[in-house]
Amino acid sequence: MGNRYWVVGFLFLWVISTYAQAKPEEIFQQAITHGATLTCSYEEGQNENIKISVKQRRNLDGSVWRVKDIIRDEDLSGKYWSFNTKQIYNSDGFIDLMISQNEITGIVTQDEIPRHRIGKDSTFKMTSITYDGRSCWKITEHLVGGEVYEAIIDKEYVFVLTNNYYNSSGKLLYSIQKKNVNFNPVFTEADFLVPPNAKLRYAKNNREYSELLDKRIHSHSKLVTKTRKQMAKKTIKPKPQGKLRRQWDRVTNYDTLGFVCQKAPWFLMPIAIVALGIVVWNKRKGGRN
């Protein structure tokens, strides 16, 4: 009889613990909306040439400062190009303020910014795993159209560490891997100050915000194009030289003008002697006649 009580008690505790766990969609939505509950910094990159550094600070009112610095092809010649933004998210996870490098800033209301929301007809699968030494959940979301969204979320901080998105054919469309995640980074006041020379442009609706965003992207694209041309000039390879040109460079020691100035007297002396001889010979011939 006592064993039965133990079995019933164990089953009762197991049922309570199972239902007490947060649902996958709740964990997923919380991670997407709020991210880490503390300050954090991390790096991510879509490929080997792009490095994204992020610092994030959560305020007491639930709002978030996020500073993002993007560097591409740092190994070529310093920074190929860089781009940084400062963003303020309110407690609902919407962007209230964005300050870009070229001083174009868009301010919008929270109900005009679209963000990822979990579909009502989506199905979830959640498993517990260890990722990068952290205790995590792996959540797989199957969308109605056949697409699959995978995310690995840190259990302690409810923070998305990786994102993978596949189309209905199973092709990986994008992948974000966050590295060197630090939940207690060192911040400076400059990281969260609005630049005094920032040109604030207010967007009354989502359309105006999109126009501001397009201008910022266009301006940044022109900067990237200009930088690429400068890099191309620096890294342009000389055209292959012919055999005669190589021989001439070897003889002149790659200094044609200096070679001519040094050797000109030796070349001109025989020519002058021959010319003088011709003149004297012509005079004698004329005197005989």
- Euclidean distance between CA atoms 115 and 45, whole angstroms: 21
Its pTM stands at 0.52
The CATH number of 22-231, from 3.40.50.150, 3.40.710.10, 2.50.20.10, 3.30.497.10, is 2.50.20.10
CB 106, CB 203: distance < 8 Å: yes
Tokens of 270: 């025989």
Q: Name the average pLDDT for the chain.
A: 68
CATH 2.50.20.10 in the chain, residue ranges: 22-231
Q: Tens of pLDDT along 141-183?
A: 888 778 888 989 888 888 888 888 898 888 888 788 888 888 8
Other beta carbons less than 10 A from residue 30's beta carbon:
16
Which percentage of the chain shows pLDDT scores above 70? Answer: 40
pLDDT band (50, 70, 90) for residue 288: low
Q: Tens of pLDDT along 55-87?
A: 777 766 666 777 777 666 554 455 445 556 666
Render the burial of 86-110: b for 16+ CB within 10 Å, e for the rest: bbbbbeebbbbbbbbbeebbbbbee
The partner residues of 70 in beta bridges, in order of sequence, read: 52, 83
Average pLDDT of the residues in 253-282? 69
Q: Tens of pLDDT along 20-49?
A: 566 777 777 777 666 666 677 777 765 556
Render the burial of 114-136: b for 16+ CB within 10 Å, e for the rest: eeeebeeeeeeebeeeeeeebeb
